[in-house]
Amino acid sequence: MQILKIEGGTRLEGTAQLVSAKNAVLPILAACVITDQPVTLLDVPDILDVENMLGILRELGCTISKDGKAVTVCAANIDQEKLPDHLAKLLRSSIFLMGPLLARMRKAIMPFPGGCEIGLRPIDLHQRGLESLGVVFHDEGGYIRCDGSHMRGGVIHFDFPSVGATENVMMAAALTPGKTVIHNAAREPEIVDLQRFMNACGAKVSGAGKPTITIQGVKRLHGATYRPIPDRIVGGTLLAAAAMTGGTLDLRNAPDDMGAIVAKMRDMGCEIREEIGRTILLAPKRLHSFRQMQTQPFPGFPTDMQAQMMALATMADGVSLVMENVFENRFAHAADLARMGADIVLSNRMAVIRGVPKLHGTTVVSRDLRAGAALVIAGLAAEGTTIVENITLIDRGYERLEDQLAALGAKIERVEEMNGQKQYD
């Protein structure tokens, strides 16, 4: 079992460089299935979710090659429409392959996807959207059999702007005859990035980033070389780590879509200067409370930064209110923050955090990807030693987070525990 050991109290300062976003890379990797020509993605993060997605693509018959951070996928010889159960259950984003498989093969057999336990996250929006394209679904003993033999363009009205459902319909419609229109589409930057990638491969998609997206089906897509957008959530996490320690950070390759995150950190007293491809943060000695924060679909505050902001609020001067409007079970980190001395009161989807003068190190457990990042952030400012367990979840979305933080001066290391003996990596 690997853990992260953190000695708190060190002010972070320095420069960090962002790589491509997990939430952009995963659907783009899935979209590689739509074409039989090679696709090369640049600046791909070395994270567990990407490895699991590549494993699924190999099982489907794709060939994968790597050159540094460049990954080339060729789906010319894809020969499977059934996802491997053991990998799909590790990865929520395996559901992204439903649309591409239907586009390419007109059929798919999907296990119910896994991932972090942050809420029910039903896939009914995916199914309803694809049903509007003529897809027929059958549940068979824990699998979803998808029949797209009569697919055609259609009109979809989503009840909620689901990112995954929007992406699945975009990809399924790419090779579907006729025009498909998605109303109340998700507007996240990753949606826009998927459109750019698909169009680079010859698709005809327009409107991404707006409530209505239009896809005109084409006969085939071709290969491309593409660099996905930088990771705004990793960027926000690193900014939060610097802010938690009263430090400074020069964030390079910073995306221009972190407005909600930057605004909230400014509310907490951070000085932030934004330039093209660069965000520079200077934190005060003690942060101010942000009074109220509500997670919402883009361009609102991202749910994937809620836990990290709660960590900041634990030592901020004043009372902060967090309302989680996207997922019903995303306060798993609150109990562990309280074990570190935080003053947090929960009520349904609302958390009230009264800032305390200090946190103390203890052993905590990562309950999901972003919760784990929040506990690491808290440990950076806590007195004494913090041990974060179950860090495999953190590795799903952060490329050696301990190395990124150590480069900024953090006293953090990955420790291998075997039979009670610690072996230092």
Q: What is the rounded average pLDDT of the residues 399-410? A: 98
- Cite the active site residues: 116
Confidence of residue 418 (pLDDT cuts 50, 70, 90): low
d(CA 354, CA 334): 12
Q: Report the distance separating Cα 243 and Cα 284, nearest Å.
A: 8
Written as six digits, the tokens of 214 are 């239009």
Which residue is listed with tokens 């309280």? 338
Neighbour-count burial of 85, counting CB atoms closer than 10 A to its CB (0-12 exposed, 13-18 middle, 19+ buried): middle
Specify the pTM. 0.94
Residue 327 near residue 121, CB atoms below 8 Å: yes
User: Contact 329/367 with Cβ under 8 angstroms?
Assistant: no
Cα(313)–Cα(244) distance, integer angstroms: 9
Query: Which residue segments constitute the domains of the chain, with CATH numbers given?
Result: 2-18+230-424 (3.65.10.10), 22-226 (3.65.10.10)
Q: Which two tokens stand for residue 345?
A: 């009161």
Asked if residue 136 has pLDDT above 70, the reply is: yes
Confidence of residue 113 (pLDDT cuts 50, 70, 90): low
pLDDT tens-place string over residues 162-187: 999 999 999 999 999 999 999 999 99
Residue 86 CB contacts under 8 Å (≥ 6 apart), including other chains: none
**Ramachandran sector of residue 20 (left: φ over 0; alpha: ψ -120 to 50; beta: rest):** beta
What value does the mean pLDDT take over residues 357-383?
97
**Cβ contacts of residue 335 below 8 Å, gap of 6+?**
none
